[in-house]
A and B are shown apart, each in its own frame.
Chain A
């Protein structure tokens, strides 16, 4: 095994996090800040102003070559041919049986050049899978995770603050542009994981620290993985390892929209079947009606019978109540259905709600 699999790793911003008094936790083999001042404050900074997350633990894979498009069309669930140069697209990486190995964004940097951003916990397995799948293709799959530090700057003021603090031209939503940050080449991506507008910066690790300091000075609130989780949960973005696993296909996870079976990708037959026949279980969002906070693993009950299990649960700061996502049997998955969550022996009344749980009032 490589060192990455055994030793915990630190991002180029680790010292900055410690200086700011962050609580550091192990996450997917990395020592990451879970919170600085507090999850609620950080959450609300992103909903109302602007916050930044060090997400340098996420992996990057470059795919280049004559067959780059054909290869990605084969391994990714979405229609990769639809991405123009400078575009971005969300996709699942599936096994033959439709199970989800990872969910990721792919950015088209050139006609024959793409960048994939992987989940930290899956980076090595994704690389191995992509390497095996690439054998029939004229393509190079390159691990470029060490080339980038990644900063997610998110919130309604993210674009204004970024363009004035760094003087860069920002791409529209779901696009990527080549910029210079700290006098080094960088990528600015119009993507995020919070339900707010924002930009994800892929920058040279050597300039991560001064850029972080510059953004702090500009009033951007440092945010940890805790707020990242509550923000994504309120807008019902799935998390690989919780809602998405190799044992679940995208259809039951509500990600049928990013599966284009006509492209013939790995897993497309199984997914077409799941779509046609329906799935036994469906991923739903729910809110607690009264009190209590649901947690991952809590049983979901209806009329005293278990009908599902919670995959993510938390106190949702913008909703000010307990909320979560759960897989429940498809017959019980209708919005409005009253359910109970067994929170460590206490039954909490809940109701299946429409996604997203939190929507911006405009």
Chain B
């Protein structure tokens, strides 16, 4: 998508990652800002299903032609699904970062961590600074 977009229903991490929390699971990805800074994504190397992710730590990398970017976990847990469609179509991360461009689904081990994440207003405010 060409225009900056930050959905209301997501929680944001200051490293430009988002989480969509549904019960004890969360879908994760990178924000519009992150994909725009990175440029066209040409490679996503997914972590393995069953791997644990630690809040504030890198769990994967996305790469553009020129750059590599760590993807930071906004929340802790165990990976239950990865977006295999990105193997053949990594550009979905640019085209639809909150939809078809999601990266992983995680079963949360500490759902209360969500309270430390940013709401959309706070995240936008951070970007404006």
A residues sitting closer than 8 Å to B (CB atoms) are: 23, 34-35, 38-40, 226, 229-230, 291-293, 295, 314-315, 317, 322, 344, 346
A34 to B38, CA, bound (A): 12
Partner of A293, one of B39, B40, B63, B87: B63
B43 touching A38, Cβ below 8 Å: no
Residues of B within 8 A of A (CB): 39-40, 42-43, 45, 61, 63-66, 68, 87
Docked-complex contact B45 and A315, CB < 8 angstroms:
no
In terms of DSSP, what is the predominant structure of the interface of chain A?
mixed
Q: Would you mind naming 16 contact pairs between A and B with Cβ atoms under 8 Å apart?
A: A23-B39, A35-B39, A38-B40, A40-B40, A40-B65, A226-B39, A230-B65, A291-B43, A291-B45, A293-B42, A293-B63, A315-B64, A315-B65, A322-B43, A344-B68, A346-B45
Please, which residue of chain B has its CB at the minimum distance from the CB of A42?
B65
A34 to B40, Cβ gap below 8 A?
no
A209 to chain B, nearest CB (A): 26
State in angstroms the CA–CA spacing of A315 and B61 once bound together. 15
State how many angstroms separate the Cβ of B89 from the closest Cβ of chain A.
13
Contacts of B45 in A (CB 8 A): 291-292, 346
Which one of A38, A229, A292, A344 contacts B39 once the chains associate, using CB atoms below 8 Å?
A: A38
In Å, the complex CA distance between A344 and B43 comes to: 14
Residues of B within 8 A of A229 (CB): 66
Cβ contact within 8 Å between B66 and A34: yes
Q: Are B66 and A39 in contact (CB under 8 A)?
A: yes
Minimal Cβ-Cβ distance residue in B for A37: B40
- With A291-B45, A295-B68, A346-B45 as given contacts, are A315 and B63 in contact (CB-CB < 8 Å)? yes
Give chain B nearest CB distance to A303 CB in angstroms. Answer: 24
Chain A residues near B39: list those with CB within 8 A: 23, 35, 38-39, 226
Please give the distance in Å from A69's CB to the nearest CB on chain B.
41
- A226 and B40 CA atoms in complex are apart in Å by 12
Give Cα A301–Cα B65 distance, bound, in whole angstroms: 23
| Contact in complex: A315, B43 (CB < 8 Å) | yes
Closest A residue to B36 using CB positions:
A23
B43 surroundings in chain A (CB, below 8 A): 291-293, 315, 322
